[in-house]
Amino acid sequence: MECSFQCQLHAMDELTLIHWVILFAGALIMGLSKGGIPGAGNLTVALYALVLEDALGPAGVAISVGLLLPVLISADLASTLVYRRYVNWVYVRRLLPFFAIGVIAGWAAFEFFQDLERARTLKILIGSILLGMTALRMISEVKNLGAKISSSKFSSLLAPFFGLLGGMATMLANAAGPIAQFYLLAMKLPKYAFIGTSAWLFLIVNVAKVPFMYELGILNLDNLGIAIWLFFPAVFGAVIAPRIVKFIRQDWFERMIWFFIVLAGLRMIY
């Protein structure tokens, strides 16, 4: 008989060496994403969900969302230090109130998935969010939507839409990066300002998510004990990302990352 949701929160010793290797790799990828290689972080979301489902059963999908949060915060902290001089607070202040509302809505919706019988639904939802974010990214590149939005007189009116959507996506799946990045790209921020603004936005949002995830029971001392070890590759990735970008073709790297995100998203749905 399968263990209950609360029982599985204490079953982190079920993680094998292979699981640990994948979790470490995912933390490194998340750090790279926060340090200037956009899109890579969504692969980590999928990897964590699949690994913890394999280790803990259906409840592992929800637990993966809580486990990833400290990793995100550590990578955000490193990124804000690296790009501390590059932040446009206008866009942070514009998005934050709507992100807050979206986080609260996502927290309320997450309650629905606490039941083990509904854990499969959460897995499908996270996979769908990842595929949706991939589609948004591709459409924005093909159609050059960013330039069209930026040239519009109503660009500031898009903040509520992107903020609400991003708040719900980050609470349900830690997958709001492409949403905020799409908006910030549309605002034509310079490269470093884009990274620094995004880092500060998500540092604030992710820290604010802590009490909500604690209340849901998916963030506790058990998974914090795991997250402490994942702190190191996440910070390392965020610090070295600016140097890596100089030596690789970022467009090919991003295509590879998005390809694996699509595969992982499809795997979570089917």
| Interatomic CA distance for residues 62 and 165, integer angstroms | 19
| Residue 179 CA from chain centroid, whole number | 10
∠ at Cα 204 (20, 197), nearest 5°? Answer: 100
Going through the chain in order, the beta strands assigned E by DSSP cover: none
Q: pLDDT per residue over 173-200, tens digit each?
A: 888 877 787 777 767 777 788 888 989 9
> Could you give the 3-state DSSP secondary structure of residue 182?
helix
Write down the domain spans for the chain: 5-269
Which pair of structure tokens corresponds to residue 147?
A: 């330039």
Residue listed under structure tokens 């029971």: 217
| Interatomic CA distance for residues 226 and 73, integer angstroms | 14
Contact 32, 257 (CB under 8 A): no
| Interatomic CA distance for residues 159 and 106, integer angstroms | 18
With CA atoms as reference, report the closest residue to 147 among 121, 185, 113, 177. 185
In terms of Cβ atoms closer than 10 Å to its own Cβ (0-12, 13-18, 19+), residue 250 is middle
pLDDT of residue 156: 65
With CA atoms as reference, report the closest residue to 69 among 194, 193, 215. 215
pLDDT of residue 245: 67
- The residues, any chain, with a CB within 8 Å of residue 255's CB and separated by 6 or more, are none
Contact 160, 51 (CB under 8 A): no
- Residue 20 dihedral angles phi and psi, to the nearest 5°: -65, -40
In terms of Cβ atoms closer than 10 Å to its own Cβ (0-12, 13-18, 19+), residue 7 is exposed
Radius of gyration of the chain measured on its C-alpha atoms: 17
Alpha carbon distances (Å) from 240 to 29, 36, 155, 176: 11, 9, 34, 23
pLDDT in tens, the chain (270 residues): 344 445 444 556 778 999 999 999 999 999 998 887 776 788 898 899 889 989 888 778 888 999 999 999 999 999 999 888 889 898 899 999 999 999 999 999 887 776 666 666 777 877 787 787 777 667 666 655 555 555 444 456 678 888 888 898 889 888 887 778 777 776 777 778 888 898 999 999 999 999 999 998 888 887 888 899 999 999 999 999 888 766 766 567 666 666 766 776 777 676
Total length of the chain: 270
Which pair of structure tokens corresponds to residue 159?
A: 């903040």
pLDDT of residue 217: 86
